[in-house]
Amino acid sequence: MSRISGRPVTSSEHVYGLRLCIARWRAGAEGTPLLFLNGIGADLTAAAPLLAQIHGREVWTLDMPGVGASPDALLPYGASTIAAVVMEIADRLGHHILDIAGFSWGGALAQQIAMQFPGRVRRMILMATTPIMGAPGIGWGAIFDDDMQASGLKVQTATPLGIAYQTMAMAGWSSTAYLPGFKALPTLVLVGERDGVMPACYGQMLADLIDGAALEVVPGSHLFPFTHAAVVAARISAFLDPSAMGQQAAA
């Protein structure tokens, strides 16, 4: 896996009958670790150019069942189950408190984790996502994403069963009843200015429901975290550690 940007430490974890591939950049670094949760069907290789540029902390992600290097799940799973699996891995890594960034399908999972494990998420970044999942995530619609076609980026590395189980896990899911309770959780909502898969109205809905959430429009379409990785990494870093950015500006 040396081809992965930033050369993360990779490993496998067996949790509740699942074997999941984990990648960690700057493993063991000081500061609150950042967990990145990817879109439906996208693996850690696609996320690597973004995650390798987020410095000053450990950053980690994982391939969901049936995606990338993680084998298919034997049985379907729900949102609460996969949230518990992810946080069990966080416990094994020694991450009791963490920051979470979620893209598309992963943004819904990030909200589920914040609901299900109150007090364990310090800051949250939601990118190209929604509080209501009907037809979830980037799905196959991202094949026609303008930036993806221009860049040649490949994000679909999932098996048909992997895609099916990810879709089923979030079908009919909603966080709208819980988001007003996130007022103590600093949240940044990023939307792509040309996102036709998850239009900006969904980001506006998130920002309206989460008291104090910041909403920002960034360049690109649905896959902006990958196709505009440097811009997004800088914004994530500034949000996670505003005091450091303030010190740099003063200098």
Predicted local confidence at residue 100, as pLDDT: 98
Cβ-based neighbours of 94, under 8 Å, separated by 6 or more = none
Predicted local confidence at residue 192, as pLDDT: 94
* Token pair recorded at residue 43: 């693996």
Instruction: Please state the length of the chain.
Output: 251
Q: Rounded to whole angstroms, how far apart are CA atoms 105 and 169?
A: 10
Model pTM?
A: 0.90
- Report whether 179 contacts 206 (CB < 8 A): yes
C-alpha pair distances (Å), 208 with each of 11, 103, 167, 176, 182: 39, 19, 26, 10, 12
Predicted local confidence at residue 154, as pLDDT: 57
Q: Is the sign of the CA dihedral 67, 199, 218, 109 positive or negative?
A: negative
> At 233, is the pLDDT very low, low, confident or very high (cuts 50, 70, 90)?
very high
Q: Rounded to whole angstroms, how far apart are CA atoms 208 and 218?
A: 18
Amino acid at 73: A
Angle, CA of 197, 200 and 201, to the nearest 5°: 105
Q: Rounded to whole angstroms, how far apart are CA atoms 109 and 83?
A: 7
The total of other beta-carbon atoms located within 10 Å of residue 249's CB is 7
- Report whether 132 contacts 33 (CB < 8 A): no
Q: Rounded to whole angstroms, how far apart are CA atoms 184 and 210?
A: 9
Reported as a single tens digit per residue, the pLDDT across 118-163 is 999 999 999 999 999 865 444 445 555 666 555 555 556 789 999 9
Q: What is the mean pLDDT of the chain?
A: 89
Radius of gyration of the chain (CA): 16
Predicted local confidence at residue 97, as pLDDT: 97
Residue from 171, 236, 229, 251 nearest 32 by CA: 236
SS3 state of residue 23 = strand
Reported as a single tens digit per residue, the pLDDT across 64-76 is 999 999 999 999 9
Q: What is the DSSP letter of 83?
A: H
Reported as a single tens digit per residue, the pLDDT across 76-94 is 999 999 999 999 999 999 9
Predicted local confidence at residue 49, as pLDDT: 93
